[in-house]
């Protein structure tokens, strides 16, 4: 990429770093029913969790994200499970504040670098991280975090890649989130423990708010 083509991704990565750094924890939302979207977002916000990742894993994902953006202005909505350039374009057209992928192809990295949307590609290996860095992405999603070697793997990557920053996701929950956030190259962590699927199905919004409150209080020292 030439210097001109790197400028959008540089601006976007700075925005993403600030956004994730302020969030600390980013819930990964898989919304099966459209009617759950707004009350779920309100429950998360009430618990102090305002940066939300709505995954493209269900048929109602785009509608759900649209509803949250319209009815819960306190939330900062991003789109996750971006698998290709078409998904990226959908997220950008929607007005998402950021995008996240579980992995990355050269085509997706190229499209993301050109789009200017704050974007975190997914990586699990040194080679994948090198590819992301080559396109200008120094803040990446480490996924699946625990299954890919956990904190020891992350520390190993810190040696050859001192400028890389991570949002680990996968196997992270209330019991180990603080340990991950204690790592100097971790900006935020992601996970679904803040909004268990059973609580969403049951409409237990108060329970979700309680989990968020408890989590955010416990992570403040980190």
What digits encode the pLDDT tens for the residues 5-55?
455 667 888 999 999 999 999 999 999 999 999 999 999 999 999 999 999
Q: What is the pLDDT of residue 10?
A: 72
* Residue 139, Cβ density class (10 Å: 0-12 exposed, 13-18 middle, ≥19 buried): buried
Q: How many CB atoms lie within 10 A of CB 85?
A: 17
Q: What is the pLDDT of residue 12?
A: 85
Domain assignment of residue 33, given as a range: 3-219
> For residues 183 and 154, is the Cβ–Cβ distance under 8 A?
yes
Q: What is the pLDDT of residue 4?
A: 40
Distance CA 28, CA 105 (A): 21
All residue ranges of the chain with pLDDT < 70 are 1-9, 220-222
Q: What residues are labeled active site?
A: 53, 141
> For residues 181 and 24, is the Cβ–Cβ distance under 8 A?
yes
The pairing of strands 51-55 and 25-29 is parallel
Domain count, the chain: 1
**CATH number of residue 66's parent domain:** 3.20.20.70
**DSSP assigned state of 154:** H
Taking the whole predicted model, whether its pTM rises above 0.85 is answered as yes
Give the neighbor-by-neighbor strand order of the sheet with 51-55: 119-120, 99-100, 76-80, 51-55, 25-29, 189-191
């Amino acid at each position: 990429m030439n210097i001109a083509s790197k400028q959008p991704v540089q601006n976007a990565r700075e925005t993403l770093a600030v956004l994730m750094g302020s969030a600390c924890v980013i819930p990964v939302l898989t919304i099966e029913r459209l009617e759950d979207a707004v009350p779920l977002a309100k429950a998360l916000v009430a618990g102090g969790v305002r940066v939300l990742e709505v995954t493209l894993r269900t048929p109602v994902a785009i509608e759900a994200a649209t509803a949250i953006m319209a009815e819960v202005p306190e939330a900062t909505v991003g789109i996750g499970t971006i698998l290709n350039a078409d998904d990226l374009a959908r997220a950008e057209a929607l007005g998402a504040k950021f995008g996240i992928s579980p992995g990355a192809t050269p085509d997706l990295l190229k499209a993301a670098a050109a789009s200017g949307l704050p974007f975190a590609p997914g990586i699990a290996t040194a080679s994948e991280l090198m590819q992301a860095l080559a396109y200008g992405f120094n803040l990446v999603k480490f996924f699946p975090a625990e299954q890919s070697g956990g904190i020891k793997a992350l520390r190993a990557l810190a040696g050859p890649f001192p400028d890389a920053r991570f949002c680990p996701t996968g196997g992270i929950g209330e019991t180990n989130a603080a340990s991950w956030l204690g790592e100097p190259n971790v900006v935020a962590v992601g996970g679904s423990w803040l909004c268990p699927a059973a609580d969403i199905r049951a409409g237990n919004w108060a329970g979700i708010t309680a989990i968020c409150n408890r989590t955010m209080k416990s992570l403040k020292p980190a």
